[in-house]
Amino acid sequence: MRFRDALAGPGLAGIAEIKRRSPSAGDLRPDADPALLAREFERAGAAALSVLVDERFGGSPQDLVAARSTTSLPILAKGFFRDESELAALLGAAADAVLLLLRDLDDRLAARLIAAAAALGLDTLVEAHSAAELERAVALGADPIGINARDLTSFRIDREAQLDLVAAAPGDRVIVAESGVESRAHAAAAELAGADAVLVGSALMRAADPARKLRELLARPLVKVCGLTREEDVRAAAAAGADLAGFILAAESPRRADRVLPVPATMLSVAVLVGELRDGPADLVQLYARENGHRSRDAVLLRHGEPVAQVVDLPWEQEDSSHLARAARVDGRLVLAGRLAPENVREAIAAVRPWAVDASSQLEVSPGVKDAERIRAFVEAVRS
């Protein structure tokens, strides 16, 4: 279970895929060197590799051998496999796992290939694209299970449908979100839906520096710019590289927004509510209780009504010298808030190691009006 176990640790694991071309996108990186990329991806923090061995993707089993020559990471052989003899050949080429596409396999053949792979000491990543295929994967005992956002017939990407399937998958299986991950926000959305890992190929192969792109996709903490009220400030936050855009909908806030504004595909929107949960267009909700006419100190981050992180903040309009120490004791995903600024965020990150950092008032020229240079400086401080 070397491949599966590499994905099952805490946090979000990254599977970096090596492929020269795609039937949907054409040439991606025709001169890709699997040995060089494998070494660079391992240094960039990949938990495992995926190597295309099908000629339609410009690949071959020799690419597995080349990748293995420079890395100790588990390697997934990715192709369209239908016969046990193909699996044995891949083991000889240094694969640790093989991809099985339920779209192309009935349950009897899938079960036979899973058993054959296990007998060879190979893990299987069983891929589903629909609710029916996910049910089949679960019934087959598949672990890990891949959920592909790309329809392999139309090549259309549907991230929302993928995230719904990830959220519906059993919690006792390792779940891999495949395709469509091009930003930290995409990776975070998969993580919050319940994915243990993301498999990224095209976004890496198109990048000028694939290893740097991988580091970017997996980088934590995420950056949330909150108290946004203007479209130009949303654009400034996106341009600076922020991942989450926060819109305060509570009536008592001087930074109250009329609504959740549209955000670019590189970001997730967060509706900040006080007192009660209500439906809205945001990707996430940050919910505070109402205490003495104001919000409570801390909040919970919700995805479709389910808690996914804890927000630790300062008391209403007060300081607290124990703030960072208290935050450091939180288990699970932590969103750290409370007067964060370009000048103090590095110290806060070092003390707390949060999943995300949240800044608002310290990035303003006046309540609800952001300073683009302060936003840029804040994001740069977090990423440095």
CATH number for the domain spanning 160: value is: 3.20.20.70
| Domain finish residue from 200, 218, 236 | 218
Tell me, yes or no, whether 135 and 209 share the same domain. Answer: yes
Which pLDDT value is given to residue 151? Answer: 77
Give the integer Cα–Cα distance in Å for 135 and 58.
32
Pairing of β 175-178 and β 197-200: parallel
Which pLDDT value is given to residue 291? Answer: 83
Give the integer Cα–Cα distance in Å for 207 and 205.
6
Residue with tokens 């805490």: 10
**Domain membership of residue 331 as a residue range:** 222-383
Q: What angle do CA 186, 191, 196 make, to 5 degrees?
A: 125
Which pLDDT value is given to residue 22? Answer: 82
* Structural domain count of the chain: 2
| Number of neighbours of residue 360 by Cβ within 10 angstroms | 23
**Residue 144: is the preceding peptide bond cis (ω within 30°)?**
yes
Taking alpha carbons only, the member of 377, 322, 379 closest to residue 351 is: 322
Catalytic residues: 17, 19, 78, 127, 148, 178-179
Which pLDDT value is given to residue 103? Answer: 93
Tell me, yes or no, whether 73 and 206 share the same domain. Answer: yes
Tell me, yes or no, whether 149 and 264 share the same domain. Answer: no
Tell me, yes or no, whether 151 and 282 share the same domain. Answer: no
Span 232-247, pLDDT tens digits: 999 999 999 999 999 9
Which pLDDT value is given to residue 280? Answer: 83
Which pLDDT value is given to residue 354? Answer: 98
Pairing of β 294-303 and β 306-312: antiparallel
Which pLDDT value is given to residue 44? Answer: 97
Which pLDDT value is given to residue 303? Answer: 96
Give the integer Cα–Cα distance in Å for 214 and 203.
9
Tell me, yes or no, whether 233 and 173 share the same domain. Answer: no
Phi-psi region of 136 (alpha: psi -120 to 50; beta: other; left: phi over 0): alpha
Give the integer Cα–Cα distance in Å for 222 and 97.
31
Tell me, yes or no, whether 245 and 118 share the same domain. Answer: no
| Domain finish residue from 177, 192, 218 | 218
| Domain finish residue from 201, 218, 235 | 218
Tell me, yes or no, whether 295 and 341 share the same domain. Answer: yes
The residues of the chain scoring below 50 in pLDDT are none
Which pLDDT value is given to residue 361? Answer: 95
